[in-house]
């Protein structure tokens, strides 16, 4: 099983970006899908989650600006980021709980995608 994240880049304050994270491999079932971020010199922090039932939750710092969604058929989770701020600059990581063909259930991490908010 592998996760491939994409969609990061350089954006002005107030701008938008959409991150994607696609899971591939011998996947039987996907449960919770999360986004985390890590800014320079800071610990990794949780950003958003979409559960296996489709319910969502967000960190207070992004609530109302970010939207997490998924495409079950594509095994992909998205993070739509609007009204971006300087403090949103970070490497964004996806984290997905997956049941593989061996029936092992564990979480996997994407490789990270850089988001830079700069004027």
pLDDT digits (tens, 9 = 90+) for 44-84: 999 999 999 999 999 999 999 999 999 999 999 999 999 99
pLDDT given at position 103 = 80
pLDDT given at position 102 = 85
- Nearest-angstrom CA–CA distance, 47 and 65: 11
Half-sphere exposure of 16 (CA within 13 A, CB side): 7
Q: Has residue 101 got a pLDDT over 90? A: no
* Element (DSSP H or E) covering residue 91: strand 90-100
pLDDT given at position 104 = 87
- Nearest-angstrom CA–CA distance, 22 and 98: 12
pLDDT given at position 11 = 98
């Amino acid at each position: 099983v592998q996760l491939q994240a994409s969609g990061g880049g350089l954006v002005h304050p107030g701008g938008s970006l959409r991150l994607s994270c696609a899971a591939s491999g011998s996947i039987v079932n996907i449960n919770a899908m999360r986004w985390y971020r890590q800014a320079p010199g800071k610990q990794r922090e949780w950003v958003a989650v979409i559960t296996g039932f489709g319910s969502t939750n967000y960190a207070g710092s992004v609530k109302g600006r970010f939207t997490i969604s998924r495409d079950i058929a594509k095994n992909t989770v998205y993070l739509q980021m609007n009204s971006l701020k300087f403090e949103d600059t970070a490497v964004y990581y996806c984290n997905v709980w997956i049941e593989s063909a061996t029936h092992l259930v564990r979480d996997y991490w994407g490789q990270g995608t850089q988001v830079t908010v700069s004027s």
